[in-house]
Amino acid sequence: MEALRALGQQLLAIWEQLGISQRVTVVLSGLALVTALGFIVFYTSRGDYALLFGRLGPEEAGKVVQSLDEQSIPYKVGEGGGSIFVPRDLVHKTRMTLASEGIPKSGGVGYELFDKPTFGQSDMAQRVNRLRAVQGELARSINEMEGVESSRVMVVMQENRLIVDPTKKPTASVFVKLATAGLLNQQGVNAIRFLVANAVSGLKYNNVAVVDNFNNTLAGGEDDGSFAAVSGTRLQAQRNLEKYLSQKVKNLLEATLGPGQALVAVNAEIDHDQMITEDLKLTPLGQVERSTTIKSEKSTNTSARAGGTPGTSLNISTGNATQPGLAGNILENNESVTQFANSHSRTNLTRLPGGIQRVTASVVVNQQMVDGEPVARAIPEMTTLTNLVTQALGLKTVAGSGDSVVVSEMAFNTTAADALNEKFDTDQQRSFMWSIARTVLYVLLGFAALFAFWKLVQRSAEEVIPTGVPVGQLVMGGV
């Protein structure tokens, strides 16, 4: 403490020996040095900000900002007020803290509606609240999908009545807000429809309509068996099959030739007919006696036969009259019926829809690069590639099958890709060089401030601040 007190007294004595101009010079030099050092420390130690939440509505953004102010967390608001940035090292912690507070709430209310007691509510109010909760939970789930900024779900349920109308089915409409038109592909639309249909009892996939904020109908409600429903299902099945076969061939070729060295296009025709075939075959040589029926009939018939001498004496009853004779008829009928059963085989064949009728494929491979120049491959190598594609697709090589594959070779046009890569490399190098230049600039500014301070002190007159003289001797006037 005594040493520090003595040093302070010596500095105060030197300050009193300085003139007005020297004092101003020392003060200005000190302020410049402090400012430069503060500038360097501020820009070198400034935290990097990262996105905390984006695509927020004004109400939700206000709740997030209010919570950040209460926690004294620094933040920045992006353009439009929908994006909020915080220091990168606080992003995950802040998200967890806000999530525990239920901020932000996107998609409306969910099942938290039932967190509070609902005693005294009518049955209708409870059913409406349950429907609101389901709609809110579905909207929250849809908001998590790639390409969807926000969404709303509206479900229409059949009213509970004594007489149920079977023609009235549950329906649903989904409104999605996209950043760009066409950002949500058909696979995403189908995922939304299946999600909503399986979350609502009795709701069918075809009765879910999806629209976006660009006035586009992404999916409409189709009746079962309608042309739109059937054609959409068939087209989707064909696309899935073609995508699977194309990716299968592409993975095989890229593993052989390298990434980006092959383009594959596959066209598949699917049999959508359902057929039931019954085949009955009889075997004449395999006869088996099933039954034998024998029928026998015999009948006897006796009748009077005319006799005697013709004349009047026949009609006179006399003792000498001759009696007439008797004639007998015997009828006998024998019948035998034998039934035979032929052995046979019966086959019932049911063919479900979805069989592949015909597959055609077109494959283009990039030419080899030798010393920077494209070189064509040999014919045996191209034949090998064709055989690989044929076997990978399972094509039928017999005549009349309709399956075909064409493998061609040509140099790919990579001008656009090369320009994009060059621009990316240039921007990356520019950003790296600017980062280095900024750091060096901060250091140079610090050295410049020190140099300026040293030059200002050097310009002071030696008789005012003699060099090489102890401070105590200067104070006592022993110069």
Taking only the tens place, the pLDDT of each residue in 318-374 is 555 555 555 567 777 888 888 777 777 788 888 777 788 889 999 999 988 887 788
Report the distance separating Cα 387 and Cα 405, nearest Å.
Answer: 9
Two tokens, residue 49:
């900000």
More confident residue, 133 or 467: 133
| The predicted structure's pLDDT at residue 339 | 79
Of 3.30.300.30, 3.40.140.10, 3.30.43.10, 3.40.50.1100, the CATH number of 112-224 is: 3.30.300.30
Q: What is the DSSP string of 40-80?
A: HHHHHSPPPEEEEE-S--HHHHHHHHHHHHHTT---EE-GG
Per-residue pLDDT at 153 exceeds 80: yes
**∠ CA 66-71-74, rounded to 5°:** 80
Nearest to 247 by CA among 385, 396, 358, 392: 392
Domain 49-101 has CATH 3.30.70: yes
What does the DSSP 8-state code read for residue 145?
Answer: S
More confident residue, 123 or 247: 247
Two tokens, residue 118:
């609902």
Taking only the tens place, the pLDDT of each residue in 269-294 is 888 777 888 887 777 666 777 788 88
Least reliable range by pLDDT among 114-118, 172-176, 474-478: 474-478
What does the DSSP 8-state code read for residue 377?
Answer: P
| Cis, bond preceding 466 (omega within 30 deg of 0) | no
| The predicted structure's pLDDT at residue 300 | 75
Taking only the tens place, the pLDDT of each residue in 76-113 is 888 777 788 888 888 888 888 887 777 776 556 776 66
Mean pLDDT of 296-319: 62
Q: Could you give the C-alpha distances from 376 to 106, 260, 319, 379, in angstroms and in order? A: 57, 17, 139, 9
With contact defined as beta carbons under 8 Å apart, do 171 and 221 qualify?
yes
Two tokens, residue 462:
């030696």
Pairing of strands 355-366, 404-410: parallel
Query: In 70-163, at which residue ranges do the beta strands (DSSP E only) sit?
Result: 76-77, 84-87, 148-156
* CB contact burial 73-102 (16+ within 10 A = b; e otherwise): eebeeeeeebbbbbbeebbeebeeebeeee
